[in-house]
Amino acid sequence: MAVLVGKKAPLFEADAVVNGGEFVERFSLEQFIGKKHVVFFFYPLDFTFVCPTEIIAFQDKIEEFEKRNVAVVGCSVDSKFSHWAWLNTEKSNGGIKGVKFPLVSDLSKTISENYDVLAGEYDYNDDGELEFDGDAVAYRGLFLIDKQGVVRHQVVNDLPLGRSVTEALRMVDALQFFEENGEVCPADWHAGDAGMKATAEGVAKYLSK
């Protein structure tokens, strides 16, 4: 599994569905560079079971992300038409109607490969035929990207393990605190807590509290 932290986030242009039902061609994270932080997350498939709980949880907290000037963008290997159908299906029927943030279509699976979250890989069998080994979907990867387009945090969960949206917000707060104050965030730091100088004296002062 590649570690992208400290590196430029792989850019792409792909179909997406925005505002709960509008098709966009050549959607790109590049539009946010210099303007917003981005939480870019992958999920395995539309019309599944854990995935809607995560996506709706992000939507429920979307105002918190927007207050922090953070764009939330989801991505899976489904088509834009599948995204559109899911976005227009009532929650009572397993849909995610009411979700407004962009959902990117990675039908070619190249975005998932570039972020190294594809749950399998292409390989040749003994007959020289190209086959896919594993699940042709994305793991539950999440990448926090700063305004310069650099990945500052990543977490990747296996398919059965849903993520914490609260933790994603905490990491946004920690990154923005560091950017604004120049102090680092110790273990279990939350917004409103004191930071720490990245020096021996700073550590000693923090630990002596």
Residue range 49-96, pLDDT digits in tens:
999 999 999 999 999 999 999 999 999 999 999 999 999 999 999 999
pLDDT digits (tens, 9 = 90+) for 18-39: 999 999 999 999 999 999 999 9
Banded model confidence at residue 121, pLDDT cuts 50, 70, 90: confident
0.85 surpassed by pTM: yes
Cα three-residue angle 123-159-120, rounded to 5 degrees: 5
Sequence-separated (6 or more) residues with CB below 8 Å from residue 152: 5, 6, 144, 145, 146, 175
185 included as an active-site residue: no
Region of poorest pLDDT, from 36-40, 165-169, 181-185, 199-203: 199-203
Q: Identify the bridge partners of residue 146 per DSSP, sorted by sequence position.
A: none
- The residue annotated as part of the active site, out of 51, 117, 171, 174, is 51
- Neighbouring C-beta atoms of residue 155, cutoff 10 Å: 15
> Is 70 exceeded by the pLDDT of residue 1?
no
Sequence-separated (6 or more) residues with CB below 8 Å from residue 102: 16, 17, 18, 24, 27, 73, 74
CATH number of 14-162: 3.40.30.10
For the chain, domain boundaries: 14-162, 164-209
Q: What is the pLDDT of residue 82?
A: 98
- List the 37-42 sheet strands across, edge first: 22-27, 14-18, 103-105, 70-76, 37-42, 140-145, 151-157
Across the chain, mean pLDDT equals 95
